[in-house]
Amino acid sequence: MNWNDTVIAEFRANNGNVSTGGFGRSLILLHTIGARSGTERVNPVLGRRSGDDWVVAASFAGAPTNPAWYHNLLAHPDVAIETGGGVVEVTATEITGPDYDREWEGFTTQSAAFSEYKAKAGSRRIPLLRLRRRA
């Protein structure tokens, strides 16, 4: 079982609480549809609450490229997330401008790892996406 599978199993077994990686209740399970394959994928990602929305960072731990799930969200923005409280249907939109700076500060305040990811990413600006509940 790979790391993602282990985290997903722990998340589901413990109503969203994950001890692996020290994430606690900060993770969500992001369901995406492959941009090219059309295959559903599930990725555990840090999901920060921002008002009624969730915000995710396509940090890829500071890699020079964006994670595949980022491209999947751009191609198919209507997705589902799993939280400790259940499944939520959301629509993803990329965050830009002053909202980006405010939301990024929230990530670096929550975890120093995000400052490290930014430094590792070099010239790549780490995308942030807002996940808003669909009516």
pLDDT of residue 91: 98
What residue numbers bound the domain in which 30 lies? Answer: 3-133
Average pLDDT for 8-36: 90
Residues ≥6 apart with Cβ < 8 Å to 22: none
Distance between first and last Cα of the chain: 36
pLDDT of residue 71: 97
Q: What secondary structure does DSSP assign to 21-73, as a single string? A: GG-BT-EEEEEEE-TTT--EEEEEEE-EEETTEEEEE--GGG-SS--HHHHHH
Q: What would the pLDDT profile of 71-124 be if each residue is shown by its tens digit? A: 999 999 999 999 999 999 999 999 999 999 999 999 999 888 899 999 999 999
Q: What is the pTM of this model?
A: 0.93
Indicate if the pLDDT at residue 20 is higher than 80: no
Q: How many CB atoms lie within 10 A of CB 124?
A: 17
Domain harbouring 127, CATH code: 2.30.110.10
Residues ≥6 apart with Cβ < 8 Å to 96: none
Specify whether the CB–CB gap between 55 and 114 falls below 8 A: no
Model confidence at 23, in pLDDT bands (50, 70, 90)?
A: confident
Q: Which of 17, 22, 12 minimizes the C-alpha distance to 110?
A: 22
pLDDT of residue 77: 98
* Number of structural domains in the chain: 1
